[in-house]
Amino acid sequence: MDAGAAYTPPDRPLVVLHADEALLLVDKPSGLLSVPGKGPHLADCLLSRLQARFPEVLLVHRLDRDTSGVMVFARTGSAQRHLGLQFERRIVEKRYVARAWGRVGAPDGMIELPLRTDWPRRPMQMVCHEQGRPARTRWVRMAHDATGSRLALFPETGRSHQLRVHLREIGHPVLGDPFYAPPEALAAASRLMLHAESLRLRHPLGGAWCAFDTPAPF
């Protein structure tokens, strides 16, 4: 979260995509923290809103405050452990949609750049070939428009800010990104144009593959 920006989370009803005895899938809005931040002014978050309605719900993963889209939560401890291992072992398949600055020339590609925290400017991340952790993002160009390119992104690792830094490093930052976009790309959109469109995972009860989707609102 941008330390210099006031936190004004959106006031909108929860959008539940799926609920069963083990899983809860929701569509997180842009501008809402996944978990509480430091201090009472950052207490409002998706997790706390869900716990008010589903007291048993447990965190599995996170999305950045300004990223929207599919998040999965567990409703039992065993489901949380099962899902956590799937994320750790990269079994979960994730698809994001982004609007990126500039005209991306190639139809697809792979970005392999190691990342670490930029400690003087945290929570920002940076490429570091000496101390960074491996990070891989596959991308496919979907379309062009007046302000840039629409991309499908398939992260093969789950580093903090991975998609945002990787796109910045290839010269196509995400529109509306308060951390990594230059002024003209920041001003080109009213929000971070990054959306978690799809999650595909194995159900904790029985192991069947299941997919959950929510279309990008941009």
Strand partners, 69: 28, 196
Q: Are strands 108-112 and 23-28 parallel, antiparallel or unpaired?
A: unpaired
Q: How many CB atoms lie within 10 A of CB 17?
A: 16
CA–CA separation, 25 vs 49, rounded Å?
Answer: 14
CA–CA separation, 39 vs 150, rounded Å?
Answer: 36
27 flagged as catalytic: no
Tokens coding 134: 């491996």
Catalytic residue among 64, 108, 118, 213: 64
Backbone angles phi, psi at 47, to 5 degrees: -60, -45
Q: Annotated catalytic sites, by residue?
A: 64
